Chain A
């Protein structure tokens, strides 16, 4: 591993004008959790630096200390060679730092222009037209498209992100920090974003991009800084490294990138969906004539751009979303048939249908955040309980079993799950759902926000369920994973099925095309 000279130098960087940002010995703790421990980071002027690390490695925390959301407990920050103390987001702007957060910081009922000037007070008159004009000017300079008078709630995710970047530029940011900007974008939108980033770099801006997608790191950045478990591991030139080397730095030990995929054994239809159509309360068709079959002993992947109907599909099957038309038929092993349309989750459960659902919103729909592991186990099992008082013994046993088998990191089974890290929360949820021995297991974005190790734990758990004969439905966003993990893949596009493909005989590009098949816009810009 080759590290640059500056990485060795810990303190006293001096009046070095090559660097836009230098962070030295930064430590930040939250209670007893050390988020950053003596971290250092250098950002050269006019470069794109990737900040790479697994989830929970402290990337966002470190960047939040530059954007003024947090203040370091210890350490020094130098901007353009001068030591600074960034106490608030306002200070960050003063030093030319603009951060684009993963969760957008926009006011929904405001227009784009109103959001841009929010919090600014340069003493000038509040002139909406002038602001709109300036916004359009910035947009055209870097190759964005934006309507300054559009309300945020009418915007797509990618438009919101664009606006966030314009907001930072409008405030005169020279240093831009993007926190996992591609997580919510389609491949095409990602390409556009990268083009804009290159334009900004050409214009002399320095950019830090937080990510854990290695292909993007390789594509966009000049250098890569790696954090692991809150500690600084090193910084390398992108041209001199490889995805494998970066993974080693990230996880500290070699992890195989292959997912074990045994062939399905005796698949038989378990869940047959025909002509499913769902209309939301605003009259928009969320699902349009969707038909497919989920087989036992098979992982059925569902791909698509975010918001193509994945959520509605799973919720309709689980009895949480109203079905306008079509049938959902459950076919248990004994060859009987049962229609799920019109059933709510309670009825589905009472009918003896063993269905498990790992929802996207883990702490909202999946678990009760303020309860411990035991309490959350009980959510699934309390009905079995007889008598007036609850039986905590069995759920506690189950909780301990999950804690041990899945290596959940928690002080105790009574510790509120809300305070666990994302990966541990997901382990608790998946563990619970699998423990109920389902015939159908549905997961929505099961590895979103999880680090590589936890992701593999989840993949292995799903594959294990598959070999047990469970019909697994896996809604995912990472095409590489979908193609490596699933047996068959359904591609959703605008609520319609645009393709059902065999994962063993298709390329990522082909799936990408299917994802945008029915889209009228999007591809036209390229």
Chain B
């Protein structure tokens, strides 16, 4: 492979990777609080559809619509509705202590169903499949610094700076979560809740509040993955093809791949992107064999899991209390 095709591959890998990076970052925060939210795909659906709907309502029939306002509405709406998904999950698992796996999977089904229902409605409003368009928001999300990156898609600078600004926000969030978890008291407390809630409780940490906030804010961040997909990846429209769900599961896999470390998630996401698009750059694949190559991200995750479990390093393990309910008087 020459440099040019690698740079194009890298570019599509980063765009792809950012979708799952948002999903994974939110899930890392959630899982650090001890909640295994398998509703990530559903939450990404919620983020995608609510952002799109907000922009659509604002832009539809409004020729003077401002791109900035439209994008801002999409961002806020994506965060709020995804966080509401997280709130629903939190209420069920933390307050009512339902099984986390079942609740998460249900949330995935719910999110996907609701999003595709609303997506279908939007398509009906706008006249047919593929007709939904929130051009102004999508353009705003697609803004990048042309003076640095240029427009030559095979140029190295374009491969670094030629992305919509949400791409960089994702990296910023990763760094922020890294600092939050490792360097702040609140982050330490959150990790303690996920590792050993009884200990956290005895240390005077409000376990319920931490779990709720970790899960809801995590869900909000995951939701940006869906928004990034609708706005940047497919350019401000809606597709009923189930891609968001597939990417949502990849985000969950990425959390494991990154061994719950946000910085690992960044390069892991791009690596997943490269692995995902690699089939386009491998000569001689037909329709059947290319599907095999689409498995690559999952194969990589499996290999990482095997290595992590062989090394048995304590720090690489999931939060010790992940997936388990906590109730003080149960001890």
Contact = CB atoms under 8 A, between A and B. Distances in A.
A153 B196 contact: no
Interface in B171-230: 183-185, 188-189, 191-192, 195-196, 198-206
Nearest to A64: B331
A428 to B, nearest CB: 22
Interface string A86-129: 00111011000001010001111110001101111100001000
B315 interface: yes
B315 A109 contact: yes
A69 interface: yes
**Binding site secondary structure of chain B:** helix
B192 A107 contact: yes
Contacts of B198: 105
B320 interface: yes
A463 B41 CA distance: 62
A456 interface: no
Given A119-B189, A121-B185, A126-B183, A108 B202 contact: no
Contact of B196 (A92, A93, A106, A126): A106
B185 A107 contact: no
Contacts of B317: 109
A118 B320 contact: no
A126 B198 CA distance: 23
Contact of A67 (B183, B192, B202): B202
B241 interface: no
B314 interface: yes
Contacts of B331: 69
Interface residues of A, number: 29
B185 A117 contact: yes
A163 to B, nearest CB: 12
A262 B184 CA distance: 64
A473 B300 CA distance: 50
Contacts of A282: 312
B305 to A, nearest CB: 18
A70 interface: yes
A167 B200 CA distance: 13
Contacts of A107: 191-192, 195-196, 199-200
Contacts of B206: 88
- Interface residue range, chain B: 20 to 34
B2 interface: no
Contacts of B189: 118-119
A115 B196 CA distance: 11
A151 interface: yes
B91 to A, nearest CB: 21
A93 B329 CA distance: 19
A105 B202 contact: yes
A90 B207 CA distance: 12
B185 A89 contact: no
A90 B203 CA distance: 7
Contacts of A110: 188, 191-192, 195
A88 B199 contact: no
A450 B195 CA distance: 30
Given A119-B189, A119-B192, A119-B200, A108 B183 contact: no
A89 B184 CA distance: 21
A153 B195 CA distance: 13
Contacts of B188: 110, 114, 117-118, 126
Contacts of A90: 204
Contacts of A153: 314
A110 B190 CA distance: 12
A99 B189 CA distance: 19
B287 interface: no
Interface in A166-220: 167
Given A119-B189, A151-B314, A109 B195 contact: yes
Contacts of B200: 107, 118-119
B205 to A, nearest CB: 4
A175 to B, nearest CB: 15
Q: Top 3 closest A-B pairs, CB basis?
A: A119-B203, A90-B204, A105-B199
30 contacts: A67-B202, A69-B202, A88-B204, A88-B206, A89-B201, A89-B204, A92-B204, A93-B204, A105-B199, A105-B202, A105-B203, A106-B199, A107-B196, A107-B199, A107-B200, A108-B195, A109-B317, A110-B188, A110-B191, A117-B185, A118-B192, A118-B199, A118-B205, A119-B203, A120-B185, A120-B203, A120-B204, A126-B184, A126-B185, A167-B203
Given A119-B192, A121-B185, 17 more contacts: A67-B202, A69-B202, A89-B202, A89-B203, A90-B204, A107-B199, A107-B200, A109-B320, A110-B191, A110-B195, A118-B189, A118-B205, A119-B203, A126-B183, A126-B184, A126-B185, A151-B314
Interface of B: 183-185, 188-189, 191-192, 195-196, 198-206, 312, 314-315, 317, 320, 328-329, 331
Interface of A: 30, 67, 69-70, 88-90, 92-93, 99, 101, 105-110, 114-115, 117-121, 126, 151, 153, 167, 282
